[in-house]
Amino acid sequence: MKMRLPFAVPVLLMLSTAAAFHGQTTATTSKGRPFARLGLGDVGVAATGQFTTSITSQNIGSGGQVLPHQATTDSPGMLATIHIQPVSWAGLEFNYQYSRFSERFFRAPRTQGIVYNPNLNTPVNVSTDFHEATGAYVLHLKPHKKVSPYVGIGGGYIDFEPIQVDRNQWRGTGLVDIGFNMQTVSNLGFRVGARDLIYRAPDYFDTSLSSSRWVSTEEPYAGVYLKF
């Protein structure tokens, strides 16, 4: 697995932020009154599953080309997250995720005049490394005993890195995150939830594969976290 420099930055930021906040319990106003708990946060890892909507339309694009069918194979992934919670009801999360899957393109056959073009009937498979770096505002709902639900909304970027070709493609993405924490008696806890990434389908700079469509990737996840 290759990690490009831009994706090392958010990971280092996550670690340095956690170190900076570690050990701080409160911040005070000029009169000495606490207004935020700066030490409330956690670092977590989780296993994810990726399920991406398929593109099935065969309309004609603006350039006269036939838009392709496009499908993404379901795949597992790894998610690393840091939560910073300066107040009890709100905070921030920063995420890095890695996965690997294949994009399958099916270019519909068509005639050019009276000439049939068989190449457009050939499926194209692109094996891809998937790197995600995102951030979100998180609303922490009222906890029930040891279970604390939360909702997050934000965005970031995704790097699609084909295995066969050394030419990656960037896509901006929106993020919705819903889940809940289950705190144990120690600093260790368990986290379960679901994420949704919304972005424009990659085409790897090949106009014959371009659909110009937006897709949604649903990601259930489960993991552990350590409070600091």
One-character DSSP codes across 185-221: SSSEEEEEEEEEEEEEPP-TT-GGG----EEEEEEEE
Q: Which residues contact 44 (CB under 8 A, 6 or more apart)?
A: 80, 81, 82, 83, 191, 223, 224, 225, 226
| CA-angle at 174, arms to 171 and 175, nearest 5° | 125
Q: What is d(CA 40, CA 22) in angstroms, rounded to the nearest whole number?
A: 9
The model scores a pTM over 0.85: no
Domains along the chain with CATH numbers: 5-21+43-227 (2.40.160.20)
Residue 149 has pLDDT above 70, yes or no: yes
Tell me, what amino acid is at 122?
T
Chain segment 46-97, per-residue pLDDT in tens = 999 999 998 876 555 556 555 667 889 999 999 999 999 888 889 999 999 9
Q: What is d(CA 41, CA 146) in angstroms, rounded to the nearest whole number?
A: 16
